Amino acid sequence: MKNKSNEIHFYKKYFIFIIFFFLFSYTYSQTTFSLSLSQSAINDWRTGEVKSIELASSFDTKNLLRLDTMLINLNYKFAFGALYEKIADSVPAQLRPSDNVIYGEIVLRYQLGWVLDPFVSSSVETQIAESFMYVKGRLSPTSAFWDPVISQESFGLAYSYYTDLSLLSRIGVSLKQTRAEIYTKLTDDLKTTNIKEAYKPESGIQWKTETYFNIDSVVFYKGLLDSFGTFKNLDVWSIKFENEFQIKILKYFGVILRADFIYDEKQKRELQYKQNIRFGFIAMI
């Protein structure tokens, strides 16, 4: 237990290091911040009474640091939202997170003057607050801060393109580690029914592509396609596909359209998706 505690403490310090390295480095950066609010109220004979209010915030920054022939990409993402739901008078009102992620990544690329550059990368991702899902009409906790936490290291070849369209695509060998304390859904081996594993290492291939595109002066698109397949079973891949359009109506007010899709059999044996349209404050720094 002591070794596990030391290991978790190490990764917390590692994550904090990424944040401070981003804050105090002089870089070319692309940063977006948004704060949005949505509300709905329904009361009719078909659906009954449903009231909901959601407040969501996000901070996403991509930084590029040049050190001679070395390129350093620093990525940091914070997204958190709170959803208040009142389904009926007989059911207590619920307040639970909607968006709920904090992510940090560093990518080192060595420029050889070729089309492809060798790279190494390291990332860590976890939740900000305890999350819940409905199970038989009741809220059941599914995760918490640093439980689980996913870290991933990769090395291979990368291709980049920077104009009006910014693109970074890379493929390489990857080591993925998932750690948990209480919420062991992603780490537990179903074959060992008497043991709840809290650590799961996986080695395989990662292919990740990030794009950023100013379609015009008021429409901005960013996308992410991240796939990972283990060497044990390259026939089954986990895939994350994120899309976001930001449409400015006024200088600091606009519409955010998101459509995210995830397929990961360790999480759920069907396609997961999240789609929403929000109005609110948008700032690009």
> DSSP labels for the chain?
-HHHHHHHHHHHHHHHHHHHHHHTS--EEEEEEEEEEEEEEEEETTTEEEEEEEEEEEEEEEEEEEETTEEEEEEEEEEEEEEEEE--TTS--EEEEEEEEEEEEEEEEE--SSSSEEEEEEEEEEBSS-EEEEETTEEEEEEBBTBSEEEEEEEEEEEEEESSEEEEEEEEEEEEEEE-SS--TTT--TT-TT----EEEEEEEEEEEEEEEE-SSSEEEEEEEEEEEETTEEEEEEEEEEEEEEEESSSSEEEEEEEEEEEETTTEEEEEEEEEEEEEEEEE-
> Which pLDDT does position 172 carry in this prediction?
97
3-state secondary structure 149-193: EEEEEEEEEEEEEECCEEEEEEEEEEEEEEECCCCCCCCCCCCCC
238 vs 166, residue with greater confidence: 238
> Which pLDDT does position 124 carry in this prediction?
94
Tens of pLDDT, residues 262-280: 999 888 888 888 888 888 8
Phi and psi torsions of 15, nearest 5°: -65, -45
47 vs 230, residue with greater confidence: 230
> Which pLDDT does position 159 carry in this prediction?
94
Q: Give the number of other CB atoms < 10 A from CB of residue 15.
A: 20
Tens of pLDDT, residues 64-119: 888 888 999 989 899 999 888 877 665 677 888 888 999 999 999 999 888 999 99
Strand partners, 184: none
Lowest mean pLDDT among 70-79, 187-196, 233-242: 187-196
Average pLDDT over residues 165-177: 94
11: nearest Cα among 211, 145, 209, 116: 145
> Which pLDDT does position 88 carry in this prediction?
65
Give the span between the Cα atoms of 199 and 150, in whole angstroms: 10
Give the span between the Cα atoms of 62 and 178, in whole angstroms: 25
> Which pLDDT does position 2 carry in this prediction?
47
Average pLDDT over residues 169-193: 92
279 vs 124, residue with greater confidence: 124
- In order of their start, the domains of the chain are 2-284 (2.40.230)
> Which pLDDT does position 138 carry in this prediction?
74
